[in-house]
Amino acid sequence: MEKFEVHILGCGSALPTMRHFPTSQVVNLRDKLFMIDCAEGTQLQYRKAGLSFSRLGSIFISHLHGDHCFGLVGLISTFGLLGRIAPLHIYSPCDDLERLLRPQLDYFCRDMPFPVVFHGFSPHVPEVVYDDRTVSISTLPLKHRVPCCGFLFSEKPKQPHIRRDMIDFLHIPLHAIGRIKAGEGWTDADGRFWHHDQLTFPPEPPRRYAYCSDTMPVEANLPLLQGVDVMFHEATFASDALARARQTGHSTARQAAEMARGAAARRLVIGHFSSRYDDDTLLLREAEEVFPEVVLAHEGLKIEV
């Protein structure tokens, strides 16, 4: 199965502590890299993870709180020092990020050899913001103190696999394999027609990864998340701090697990823990009471989707 993995660079804490870096993740889909959020210290964690700077083409910012975007200028500056020439695309709610970041880039990165292209989108309705032949990335409107969106990475369906035994049995030439995968059949030397379904077997089902950070539970997103393979959902507080969670626009670990259960997700990853907790397993145990397939995010964690 082709690569689809998520690297946790910062598992998310509103206040950096000795235990956690603020939020950043990298999705690696078939060796194409996509960054989600870029907090302070992200490029240091990026280097530690051994990820390729040249393969990162797009950055998706969930919202304009500093613990999700303060690392952008430093990372962009480093790209320039490394001689990058390919455009860097940055996606964020509304158009405020370009207005705030452009003066800094003009001052600190004025001789960059590559363009930075900003893409704004509405934080209120789900929409596809990126699409290529391997993946579609759409927004998930979230409920926080400022406009905020999560992101849903949906792998494109692959072509079916051609049966090796049928290639040998029918002496199918190499040049015909691509057309058969695309849906054509094959006529053998005796004039017998073999249907496409007789020559192939189905590919692996496409996979999906959902990122839901800095939000109260948004049940309106559940239809979009149904059957998602892996869901990252913030779990800033335990249930005894539910009032604080509502006040600050965050979720409890139990609420994160309820979202995963409602979406019939295969796995849940929780993160963005409040610095008040010295032991994150308290949040893990609370989530497990509702949804058993849950893991704690931590720096360096690599998740296979």
Bridge partners, 121 (sequence order): 93
67 catalytic? Reply is yes
Structure token pair of residue 5:
């993995």
Q: Would you call 50 helix, strand, or coil by DSSP?
A: coil
Bridge partners, 5 (sequence order): 28, 304
Q: Left, alpha or beta for 18 (phi > 0: left; psi -120 to 50: alpha)?
A: alpha
Catalytic residue among 67, 214, 229, 280: 67
Strands 302-304 and 32-36: unpaired
CB of 186 closer than 8 Å to CB of 223: no
Bridge partners, 60 (sequence order): 36, 91
CB of 261 closer than 8 Å to CB of 291: yes
Using CA atoms, how far apart are residues 90 and 56, in angstroms rounded to an integer? 11
Using CA atoms, how far apart are residues 258 and 263, in angstroms rounded to an integer? 9
Per DSSP, the residues of 70-111 read TTHHHHHHHHHHTT--S-EEEEEESSHHHHHHHHHHHHHSTT
Using CA atoms, how far apart are residues 71 and 99, in angstroms rounded to an integer? 16
Identify residue 49 by its one-letter amino acid code.
Answer: A
Please list the active-site residues. 67
